[in-house]
A = this chain, B = another copy of it.
Amino acid sequence: MRIEILNTGTELLLGNTVNTHAAWFGREMFLFGLRIARQTTVPDGEAIREAITESISRADVLIVTGGLGPTSDDLTREITAEVLGLELITDEAALRSLEGFFALRGRPMAPANLKQALIPVGADVLPNANGTAPGVYIPPRLNGRSSCAVFLLPGPPRELYPMAHAEVFPRLRALSGMETPPSVLELKFTGIGESDFHQGIDAALAEIPNLEFGYCAHIGEVDLRLIGTAAALEAGRAIALASFGNFLISDDGASLEATVVRWLSEKHMTLATAESCTGGLISNRITDVPGASAVFTHGFVTYANAAKISLLRVSPTDLETHGAVSETVACQMAAGALLSSGADIAVAVTGIAGPDGGTPEKPAGTAWIGLATKGAPPTAFKVYHPRNRHDFKLAVSQAALEAVRQRLVTPQP
């Protein structure tokens, strides 16, 4: 089944907005075994006509997003009906739903909104709980000009995504004739690269019957996704863990920070952070996880040496002797954060983000990560990520969170 996606919107081609719809649909549809054959972006207005005409001659399913609004350049509904030779009529249920949307918000409905209740004869109206524009589903062979099934969907993600789940994906599964969707497993790894997987296990995974697999590489993380039968998933998982089990973050799609929060919660432990070069990114990631307040209490962003001394009791002499980016200072920062916060575990980072501040001995990209737990001497290790400032911070925060996760999984003796 050949599926195409057509995203309409001048803002997508002017660069005002990054088009995340294509990736979203790709990810969601992969989970039930379907793929996108082609994605196209065109500006608002008449350019849609050419693109729709071409797509319906190539594809079995065409999903169009955007252009269902009330303004004069929202033409998706009108052009699609013309191309397919279908008449537009006012759908009474859609009209009542529109009126209800405005009544609920105590706002008058503008006359321009009336056209949003226009639906091609015989098409399904897809309810929109989060906006004014209903979606439209035109089944294959409703018209004489194409056997392509066509979905017209609103552009804003908060309207599009719920509608896709409720109205589009069930119809796609029915169209594809799949009875039960395949199962999916997502394994997240850190500390190794995608090429390690290619060289290490691609060949073995490819030999498992009824298994599809793919990788998604981020900074400091590789996600392995397996889809197939339950037996195939188990076989794939066994191969991945046999080679790379030590690098596994989670086997349920949970992020590294969510995994750390979960481990802390389970062990009834609290975490403190002491950050220099990452500038608060680690605590920011931790507090992105709902429920973080139960396990995260204190964060110190000690960007200046004076802050390291006054807040974390780092020794001025050691700062002078070893420099702020050193094993000694990383250990003292972690120990100071542990003491000052009363937390059970503390992680500290100190490094050189660049572009300035590097030396031949300590080039930009160098960072020390310290770890302290109650009743044991602090430890530290060095990482080197010569990247731009943003990516450096992300890579160092990833290494620091992974160090915490490792410590939680395998406590010190």
**Chain A interface residues toward B at CB < 8 A:** 11-20, 22-28, 30, 35-43, 47, 51, 54, 214-217, 273, 275, 277-284, 286-288, 290-293, 296-304, 306-307, 310-311, 340-342, 353-357, 389-390, 393
Q: Could you show 14 A-B contacts with beta carbons less than 8 Å apart?
A: A13-B39, A14-B30, A14-B35, A18-B23, A19-B22, A38-B51, A273-B280, A279-B286, A290-B354, A292-B303, A296-B304, A297-B304, A301-B301, A311-B340
Asked, given contacts A15-B23, A19-B19, whether A298 binds B301 with beta carbons under 8 Å apart, the answer is: yes
Asked, given contacts A37-B43, A40-B38, A299-B279, whether A12 binds B16 with beta carbons under 8 Å apart, the answer is: no
Closest Cβ–Cβ distance, residue A105 to chain B (whole Å): 14
Kindly identify which residue among B13, B22, B51, B393 contacts A41, using a CB–CB cutoff of 8 Å.
B22
Q: Is the CB of B292 within 8 A of A279?
A: yes
Complexed CA–CA distance, A214 and B288 (Å): 32
Q: Is the CB of B36 within 8 A of A26?
A: no
Closest Cβ–Cβ distance, residue A266 to chain B (whole Å): 19
Q: Is the CB of A283 within 8 A of B279?
A: yes
Q: Is the CB of A390 within 8 A of B280?
A: no
**CB neighbours of A297 from chain B (8 A):** 303-304, 306-307
Kindly identify which residue among B25, B38, B340 contacts A15, using a CB–CB cutoff of 8 Å.
B25
**CB neighbours of A340 from chain B (8 A):** 310-311
Complexed CA–CA distance, A284 and B35 (Å): 37
Q: Is the CB of A303 within 8 A of B287?
A: yes
Q: Is the CB of B307 within 8 A of A303?
A: no
**CB neighbours of A277 from chain B (8 A):** 287
Identify the interface centre among A16, A36, A42, A389: most chain B CB within 10 Å of its CB: A16
Can you name 13 extra interface pairs (CB under 8 A) apart from A14-B26, A299-B302?
A13-B22, A15-B23, A19-B23, A22-B41, A278-B284, A280-B284, A284-B393, A290-B355, A293-B304, A297-B304, A297-B306, A300-B301, A311-B340
Closest Cβ–Cβ distance, residue A391 to chain B (whole Å): 10
Q: Is the CB of B288 within 8 A of A299?
A: no
Q: Is the CB of A301 within 8 A of B288?
A: no
Complexed CA–CA distance, A389 and B42 (Å): 32
Closest Cβ–Cβ distance, residue A67 to chain B (whole Å): 15
**CB neighbours of A30 from chain B (8 A):** 14-15
**CB neighbours of A26 from chain B (8 A):** 12-16
Closest Cβ–Cβ distance, residue A283 to chain B (whole Å): 3
Closest Cβ–Cβ distance, residue A27 to chain B (whole Å): 3
Closest Cβ–Cβ distance, residue A338 to chain B (whole Å): 14
Kindly identify which residue among B20, B36, B281 contacts A284, using a CB–CB cutoff of 8 Å.
B281
Complexed CA–CA distance, A376 and B18 (Å): 44
Q: Is the CB of B389 within 8 A of A288?
A: yes
Q: Is the CB of A28 within 8 A of B43?
A: no
Q: Is the CB of B17 within 8 A of A216?
A: yes
Measured CB to CB, the nearest residue on chain B to A310 is: B340
Kindly identify which residue among B24, B298, B303, B342 contacts A298, using a CB–CB cutoff of 8 Å.
B303
Q: Is the CB of B341 within 8 A of A307?
A: yes
Q: Is the CB of B18 within 8 A of A20?
A: yes
Q: Is the CB of A301 within 8 A of B281?
A: no
